[in-house]
Amino acid sequence: MSKSSRLLRPVWVLGLTASALLGIAVNLLEPGSVQLLAIGLALLWLAAATFGVAYERWGSRTALKVLLLIAAMGAAADTLGSVLGFPFGRFDYAAPAARVFAPLIWIVVGWNSIEMASALFPKLSDPLERLLVVNVAALLSLTGALAWEPVISQIHPYRLWLDPGVYAALPGFFLFGWFMMNFLAAALLISRLPADKPQAHKGRDKEAFSNALTMLALFQMPLAIADFRAGFYVPVFLSINLLGGLAIYGARR
């Protein structure tokens, strides 16, 4: 492990610990500025941990490039959605400060979904495996969004959907729109990764898979608890089965 990697490892551990504690706190706090701050800090720590892992696996230049790109895509998609209602549906924010969550969520959920998928299917030079990575990453991101949305728009209504909803106030085309946006994001970001990993990157796929799974679980489990308590069972079922199924599959590879 390089000196820079040794320095980033404490950031990863601290990020996971802080985000886990803040995730518990979010479920205990009443809606308001303190809860918003706790959510923001939890996402920020997870984003910092995500950078630490991406740095270790891909190097500083690639990690910084892809994470800034996915954060910009998240902010752009959120702005586009709130102004035009495309591609997820029309929405507005009851708490404008919640707008900062979008780029952080895209880093935490979007990038870790790509990391997890690319660690499962690491031959990025193979077009079929690359397509498989993009689809699995988009599906993982969609599962994370389904766990997040009832919490942020129903349980703690910081975001308000303006179109008729079919489940947890989500518009009917939310699923398709979110999947396609993350499909395109994953395809773009994977094209920025080296198809043939340098020798220093080889053998890290299992560790990358474990790290990404840990961060996705830390993001989704507090949400799943809140969803379950509020009677939103679909995202709980999907989170447990998809993450659990991929964890079993990854352990057997």
Mean pLDDT confidence for 91-109: 93
The pLDDT-based confidence of 236 (bands split at 50, 70, 90) is very high
- 152 and 98 in contact (C-beta within 8 Å)? yes
Lowest average pLDDT, out of 1-5, 38-42, 195-199, goes to 1-5
The 3-class SS string of the chain reads CCHHHHHHHHHHHHHHHHHHHHHHHHHHCCCCHHHHHHHHHHHHHHHHHHHHHHHHHHCHHHHHHHHHHHHHHHHHHHHHHHHHCCCCCCEEECCHHHHHHHHHHHHHHHHHHHHHHHHHCCCCCCHHHHHHHHHHHHHHHHHHHHHHHHHHHHHCCCEEECCCEEECCEECCHHHHHHHHHHHHHHHHHHCCCCCCCHHHCCCHHHHHHHHHHHHHHHHHHHHHHHHHHCCHHHHHHHHHHHHHHHHHHHHC
Give the whole-angstrom CA distance, residue 131 versus residue 143: 19
Give the whole-angstrom CA distance, residue 109 versus residue 95: 22
Predicted model pTM: 0.89
Give the pLDDT of residue 135. 95
Mean pLDDT confidence for 166-177: 87
Give the pLDDT of residue 193. 80
Mean pLDDT confidence for 213-231: 91
Give the pLDDT of residue 200. 45
Give the whole-angstrom CA distance, residue 90 versus residue 186: 24
Give the pLDDT of residue 122. 82
Give the pLDDT of residue 228. 94
Mean pLDDT of the chain: 86
Of 87, 69, 57, which is closest to residue 170 (Cα–Cα)? 87
Give the pLDDT of residue 196. 58
Tokens found for residue 142: 């969609």
Amino acid at 13: V
Of 220, 238, 219, which is closest to residue 19 (Cα–Cα)? 219
Give the pLDDT of residue 141. 95
The pLDDT-based confidence of 28 (bands split at 50, 70, 90) is confident
Q: What percent of the chain has pLDDT over 70?
A: 91
Pairing of strands 165-167, 170-171: antiparallel
Indicate whether 202 pLDDT > 60: no
Considering only residues 126 and 137, tell me which one the structure prediction assigns the higher pLDDT: 137
Strand-pairing partners, residue 159, are 93
Give the pLDDT of residue 11. 66
Give the pLDDT of residue 6. 58
Task: Measure the N-to-C terminal CA separation of the chain; round to a whole number of Å.
Answer: 24
Sorted by where each begins, the domain ranges of the chain are 69-252
Give the pLDDT of residue 5. 53
Give the pLDDT of residue 198. 46
Count other C-beta atoms under 10 Å from residue 248's C-beta.
9
Considering only residues 236 and 13, tell me which one the structure prediction assigns the higher pLDDT: 236
Indicate whether 17 pLDDT > 80: no
The pLDDT-based confidence of 98 (bands split at 50, 70, 90) is very high
